[in-house]
Every structure is written in structure tokens, then in C-alpha cells.
Structure 1
Amino acid sequence: MDIALMSMALSQGQIQQQASMSVMKMAIGNAELQGEAIQKLIGTADATAIQNAAQPHLGGNIDLKI
């Protein structure tokens, strides 16, 4: 086995692992920010506003029969 080839393969694997960890850390940071924003939104909004945001098509029309 070629020592230089093994060294290059090991180095490449380490770089790939470091890049993967960096991407995962950024994704975790984004998820934490989104979670905080959702908690803030829920804390400041009333129940009807949350329901309207979840199902905006409900309550827009009324059927009347005379």
C-alpha cells in the first residue's frame, strides 16, 4: 500500500467530515433561531390570529337562506 495515497485519503476524509459538521452547526443555528421566532410569535399573538393564519379560508363566507 502506498503511504502517500493513504495519507491523502485520510486527509480528504477529515476535510469532508469538518465540512459536514460546519453545515450541521449552521442548520442547528437556523433551527434555533426559527424556534425562538415561533415562540415569540405564539407568545404575542392571540388565538384567533393563530387560527386564521393556520386556516385562512375558514370564516370568509357565510351562507344564508331566507
Structure 2
Amino acid sequence: MDVAALSIGLSQSNLKQAVSISVLKMSKDQAEVNGAALIKMMEQSIQPHLGGNIDIKA
């Protein structure tokens, strides 16, 4: 076996794994930001005065 080729292959494998982990971390961070924005938007859309009274007179 060629030690240099084995070393290069292992290094490339480690790099691919590090890149994959980095991309997943960025994706997770973006999902957290989107979730927080969605929660904030839902909190602002609440209108407690609506739906309390029903007009049943025709």
C-alpha cells in the first residue's frame, strides 16, 4: 500500500466530513432564526379582542 495515497485519502475524507458538519450547522442556525421569526410573527398577529362576541341577530 502506498502510505502517501492512504494519507491523502484520509485527509480528503476528514475534509468532506468537516464541510458536511459545517453545512449542517449553518442549516441548523438558519432554522433557529426562521423559527424565532415565525414565533415573533405569530405573537404579533394575536388580536385578543376578536372573536369574543357573536352577533346572532339577523
Give 1:17's aligned residue.
17
Shift of 1:9: 0.1
Shift of 1:46: 2.9
Q: C-alpha distance in 2, partners of 1:40/1:5?
A: 53
Q: C-alpha distance in 2, partners of 1:14/1:2?
A: 19
Report how many residues are paired. Answer: 47
Q: Which amino acid aligns with 1:26?
A: M
Note the residue ranges of structure 1 that are not aligned, 5 or more in a row. Answer: 48-66
Tell me which of the two structures has the higher relative contact order, counting C-alpha pairs closer than 8 angstroms and 6 or more residues apart: 1
Note the residue ranges of structure 2 that are not aligned, 5 or more in a row. Answer: 48-58
TM-score, normalized by length of structure 2?
Answer: 0.76
Q: Give RMSD over aligned pairs.
A: 1.1
Q: C-alpha distance in 1, partners of 2:31/2:11?
A: 30
Q: Could you give the per-residue CA deviations for residues 1-54 of structure 1, whole angstroms, max 9, x where no partner exists?
A: 11110000000000000011110000000000000000001111036xxxxxxx
Runs of 4+ in 1 over 4 A off after TM superposition: none
